[in-house]
A and B are shown apart, each in its own frame.
Chain A
Amino acid sequence: AQSVTQLGSHVSVSEGALVLLRCNYSSSVPPYLFWYVQYPNQGLQLLLKYTSAATLVKGINGFEAEFKKSETSFHLTKPSAHMSDAAEYFCAVSGPDYKLSFGAGTTVTVRA
């Protein structure tokens, strides 16, 4: 079975500061990993995904994530936060059945 754990339900950063969202996964097979973003009153939008092609994955809006097998982690980063990054972020892992298992989510607030 696959699962993910997101460390920290809320993260507050200053505008221009580094954004770091933590995700650890558990998977019995080589995982496919995803980060999604949800803006208020909207559905989820894909930020990036890991499919074993490269350990450092670049996504939209300046986000990137690094897959570390030894640490079973897939942390999301953005070097400089913008006010528009305020949203809820979800890490997810795909199993051998097309289903996604989601973390509980991390809400990001950006201080001016």
Chain B
Amino acid sequence: DVKVTQSSRYLVKRTGEKVFLECVQDMDHENMFWYRQDPGLGLRLIYFSYDVKMKEKGDIPEGYSVSREKKERFSLILESASTNQTSMYLCASSQLDSFSNEQYFGPGTRLTVT
């Protein structure tokens, strides 16, 4: 069974803290993605990666960075958390060989910044 796991289901951090969200996939997928999900806005792409050490900005990269040192792991970093980054964060992965490939999602991390 394919699997995308995220390090935490719920996380509470204080304003200004550095926050790491970890994502691991066991499907040997090349592509990995980070989204944030907010009510009424659907999913918005923060960053994605086609390969190890590669990263591309999505639609809302401001305030975030990413790291991909190994193929199976993609980390999202909030350098200095702010209250407007309170959200649900979803990680996904997909194969590189076709644009029709579906993305597989992790269970999400609900982050609250106080």
Interface residues of A (CB under 8 A from B): 9, 32, 34, 36, 41-46, 49, 51, 90, 94-100, 102-105
Contacts and interface: CB of A to CB of B under 8 A. Distances in A.
9 contacts: A32-B99, A34-B102, A42-B108, A43-B4, A43-B105, A43-B107, A104-B40, A105-B40, A105-B42
Given A9-B40, A104-B40, A98 B96 contact: yes
Interface in B84-114: 90, 92, 94, 96, 99-108
Contacts of A32: 99-100
Interface of B: 4, 9, 31, 33, 40-45, 48, 50, 58, 90, 92, 94, 96, 99-108
B58 A99 contact: yes
Contact of A43 (B44, B58, B96, B108): B108
A98 B99 contact: yes
Nearest to B99: A94
Contacts of B33: 99-100
A43 B43 contact: no
B35 to A, nearest CB: 8
Most chain A CB neighbours (cut-off 10 Å) among B31, B101, B102 = B102
A44 B90 contact: yes
Contacts, number: 58
B85 to A, nearest CB: 19
A42 B106 CA distance: 8
A53 to B, nearest CB: 9
A98 B41 CA distance: 20
B96 A104 contact: no
Nearest to A98: B31
Nearest to A4: B42
Contacts of B48: 98-99
Most chain B CB neighbours (cut-off 10 Å) among A36, A41, A100 = A100
B45 A99 contact: yes
A60 to B, nearest CB: 12
Given A43-B108, A98-B31, A51 B40 contact: no
A44 B105 contact: yes
